[in-house]
A and B are shown apart, each in its own frame.
Chain A
């Protein structure tokens, strides 16, 4: 999978801008970064943390403030040399001026074509392969300005693939895509890295997708060092939680997702496992409850927990010292699931999450 010599290697890199004589440092303390063939690396971090600046610096679009970037062992960053090593998908809007999709993808062959831009057989093959891989065959003859944002995103990826470079860098490639397209894109990138041995670096805000496909995550912060490592390691050692807590966002290690409403309301106990428990917990968290695991009282976990639900697991929260909180029992029956809410010695049967939330939100429970 990953070969010995890295495609890209940085040493004591410092990114930022020069404005007149002044240096505006964006990322000061970057560790030495490595991108190897066959590796897919996701660059994560909040807005303004310097993802794009780092990407642009690595791609040679802007000079580093300090340190150096070695690409395939060379520090020659002239555009003609880099064009055969790195292809880019940027967030820049493409105006196109009457450009059609095929011609745009064909522009990817620029570094390989002759001085007039004439295309050879190998060029045409590379263009067709890129169009096929990104599934934009239907768009071939469309003008670029008639494309939706998502379509244009895919077309720009096809252009980068046609450039046929060992390194591929993408700046927020999932930004305008719908969910299926996002997943397809990530799958495609994963395949490209595994089967063609490309080194891929992409910045994204799609944390859940990144966690699934990334071989390595580079986690940037608004202020503070860059953390890197396998995504699972960064979750397990609490780096994710710590970084996002600094941004005032709660990352739930148990579910691998972010919690939007603040925690810290009434405690409630939830007895049950499986898919139903997972989504009940989500609903309760949305309502501001702090959910505590009750003893599962011997019930078997639901058999239909899907493959997407890896996030399920024990919640590592501390047990409650408060007066006995309300408890919700999940009763799985043939007819369906029933939620049994026990509150102050009274039990209420609910047939859906909606009913349960209504029961909980009643001003004074009997």
Chain B
């Protein structure tokens, strides 16, 4: 690890890495397109090769932008939750927030009367996308508020985690009931959705996702001072002037927006949320959220772009679901880093 570099230098370095990863992701795919042509397609409105033009502008660019949004959103959401719950394992997925989001999506589908799968959201128009996104965020927020109220009464992190897991199982069970009564075709679609996918978010859906993630990230950045104070626990935070109830609501809203919208459009993407905040803390050796937030955004995006590139390595026709790659790469990496730096006790 670099010793004498300032956080600003490290952020710049990561930004360069991000650009590289972004370009790598644009070149990755079953159809081989040279980097020079990608530049040409990106910067000139009229292109020579129509197929390439279509692939880059309508498939790869939206996918890379989705990866950017999801990388930022998931890792910042994870960071906020780890600080709020003072727990190193806290993450949207573990505390049932992702499950809540999928429940929200399922609820909309069911009340709509159609026994369609979650994959059908891709077919929905503009109002439908909004509805799904709002339902997912509401589902996520509902679960998170429940977990928070219960944890406020219990004041025990382990019990809170168990409650999160229970909430998760409960909502997943509700979704499963709906799955059980669906036909096999739809169940397969649902399974594919749970693998997570960055592709297929285009046009208006991408616009909606961008708006929601921007709103979530802005709220998160504005709450970074509060999060710093919350590192010392709620009593100290209050004694330093944090209105704890309001802080909780702001953080819950922000995390629900981020995790909910990403889950709605990309499915539950594992691992980024729990791993990236740890990587950011190790790499930047700080606890200040003003630095950790952009660090999480950059690291999360780079990781997700790399995972997505690997998932569709050029030369092979098969595209693996991104969720598999994030877990396959992420798990050993975090274990290795934690063992090497022996930072485990810092979370006790």
Q: Quick one: which of A70-99 are within 8 Å of B by CB?
A: 78-80, 82-84, 86-88, 90, 92-99
- What separation, in Å, do the CA atoms of A108 and B241 have in the docked complex? 10
A146 to chain B, nearest CB (A): 8
Whether B18 sits at the interface, judged by CB under 8 Å, is no
Whether A59 sits at the interface, judged by CB under 8 Å, is yes
Closest residue of chain B to A145, judged by CB?
B346
Q: Quick one: which of B206-262 are within 8 Å of A by CB?
A: 222, 224-225, 228-229, 231-233, 235-236, 238-244
| B239 close to A79 (CB less than 8 A) | yes
| B82 close to A83 (CB less than 8 A) | no
For A358, the chain B residues whose CB sits under 8 A away are none
Most buried by B among A83, A108, A110, A143: A110
A87 touches which one: B229, B239, B244 (CB < 8 A)? B239
For A296, the chain B residues whose CB sits under 8 A away are none
Q: Quick one: which of B243-285 are within 8 Å of A by CB?
A: 243-244, 281, 285
Whether A163 sits at the interface, judged by CB under 8 Å, is yes
- What separation, in Å, do the CA atoms of A271 and B287 have in the docked complex? 65
- What separation, in Å, do the CA atoms of A107 and B238 have in the docked complex? 12
Whether B288 sits at the interface, judged by CB under 8 Å, is yes
- What separation, in Å, do the CA atoms of A97 and B238 have in the docked complex? 19
Whether B286 sits at the interface, judged by CB under 8 Å, is yes
- What separation, in Å, do the CA atoms of A116 and B347 have in the docked complex? 25
A305 to chain B, nearest CB (A): 45
- What separation, in Å, do the CA atoms of A145 and B244 have in the docked complex? 24
- What separation, in Å, do the CA atoms of A107 and B288 have in the docked complex? 10
Q: How many residue pairs at the A-B interface have CB separations less than 8 Å? A: 102
Q: Quick one: which of A318-350 are within 8 Å of B by CB?
A: none
- What separation, in Å, do the CA atoms of A163 and B239 have in the docked complex? 10
For B236, the chain A residues whose CB sits under 8 A away are 88, 90, 92, 94
Q: Quick one: which of A97-116 are within 8 Å of B by CB?
A: 97-100, 103-104, 107-108, 110-111, 113, 115-116
For A79, the chain B residues whose CB sits under 8 A away are 238-244
A4 to chain B, nearest CB (A): 27
- What separation, in Å, do the CA atoms of A60 and B237 have in the docked complex? 12
- What separation, in Å, do the CA atoms of A82 and B240 have in the docked complex? 8
For A99, the chain B residues whose CB sits under 8 A away are 231, 287
Whether A61 sits at the interface, judged by CB under 8 Å, is yes
Known: A97-B82, A97-B86, A145-B345. A80 touches B239 (CB 8 A): no
For B242, the chain A residues whose CB sits under 8 A away are 79, 110
For A301, the chain B residues whose CB sits under 8 A away are none
| A110 close to B224 (CB less than 8 A) | no
- What separation, in Å, do the CA atoms of A86 and B235 have in the docked complex? 13
For B232, the chain A residues whose CB sits under 8 A away are 92, 94, 96, 104, 107
For B86, the chain A residues whose CB sits under 8 A away are 95, 97
Most buried by B among A61, A80, A97, A99: A97
| A61 close to B239 (CB less than 8 A) | yes
- What separation, in Å, do the CA atoms of A290 and B182 have in the docked complex? 87
| A97 close to B231 (CB less than 8 A) | yes
For A117, the chain B residues whose CB sits under 8 A away are 224-225, 228, 288, 290
Whether B32 sits at the interface, judged by CB under 8 Å, is no
Known: A115-B225, A117-B290. A94 touches B239 (CB 8 A): no
Closest residue of chain B to A113, judged by CB?
B225
- What separation, in Å, do the CA atoms of A103 and B86 have in the docked complex? 17
For B348, the chain A residues whose CB sits under 8 A away are 95, 145
Q: Number of B residues contacting the other chain (C-beta, 8 Å)?
A: 32
| A116 close to B290 (CB less than 8 A) | yes
| A80 close to B243 (CB less than 8 A) | yes
For B241, the chain A residues whose CB sits under 8 A away are 79-80, 82-84, 110-111
- What separation, in Å, do the CA atoms of A22 and B127 have in the docked complex? 49
| A107 close to B243 (CB less than 8 A) | no
A contact patch SS: loop
A141 to chain B, nearest CB (A): 10
- What separation, in Å, do the CA atoms of A60 and B235 have in the docked complex? 10
| B233 close to A97 (CB less than 8 A) | no
Closest residue of chain B to A87, judged by CB?
B239
| B287 close to A100 (CB less than 8 A) | yes
- What separation, in Å, do the CA atoms of A60 and B346 have in the docked complex? 30
Closest residue of chain A to B244, judged by CB?
A79
Closest residue of chain A to B83, judged by CB?
A97
- What separation, in Å, do the CA atoms of A294 and B280 have in the docked complex? 74
Known: A79-B241, A108-B240. A98 touches B235 (CB 8 A): no
For A88, the chain B residues whose CB sits under 8 A away are 235-236, 239
B287 to chain A, nearest CB (A): 4
- What separation, in Å, do the CA atoms of A105 and B222 have in the docked complex? 22
B274 to chain A, nearest CB (A): 14
Known: A61-B235, A98-B281, A99-B231. A111 touches B240 (CB 8 A): yes
B231 touches which one: A59, A87, A96, A108 (CB < 8 A)? A96
Closest residue of chain B to A109, judged by CB?
B240
| A83 close to B240 (CB less than 8 A) | yes
| B239 close to A95 (CB less than 8 A) | no
For B281, the chain A residues whose CB sits under 8 A away are 97-98
Closest residue of chain B to A80, judged by CB?
B241
A96 touches which one: B222, B235, B346 (CB < 8 A)? B346
| B228 close to A97 (CB less than 8 A) | no
Known: A79-B244, A117-B225, A163-B240. A103 touches B235 (CB 8 A): no
Closest residue of chain A to B278, judged by CB?
A98
Whether B343 sits at the interface, judged by CB under 8 Å, is yes
- What separation, in Å, do the CA atoms of A87 and B238 have in the docked complex? 10
A90 touches which one: B222, B229, B235 (CB < 8 A)? B235
- What separation, in Å, do the CA atoms of A97 and B243 have in the docked complex? 21
Most buried by A among B232, B235, B346: B232
B84 to chain A, nearest CB (A): 11
| A98 close to B228 (CB less than 8 A) | no
B325 to chain A, nearest CB (A): 27
Most buried by B among A78, A88, A113: A88
For A143, the chain B residues whose CB sits under 8 A away are 346
A-B contact pairs, 11 of them (CB 8 A): A61-B239, A79-B238, A79-B239, A83-B240, A88-B236, A93-B233, A97-B88, A100-B286, A107-B231, A115-B222, A115-B225
Contacts beyond the supplied A82-B239, A94-B231, A117-B288: 5 A-B pairs with Cβ under 8 Å: A61-B235, A88-B236, A94-B232, A98-B343, A117-B224
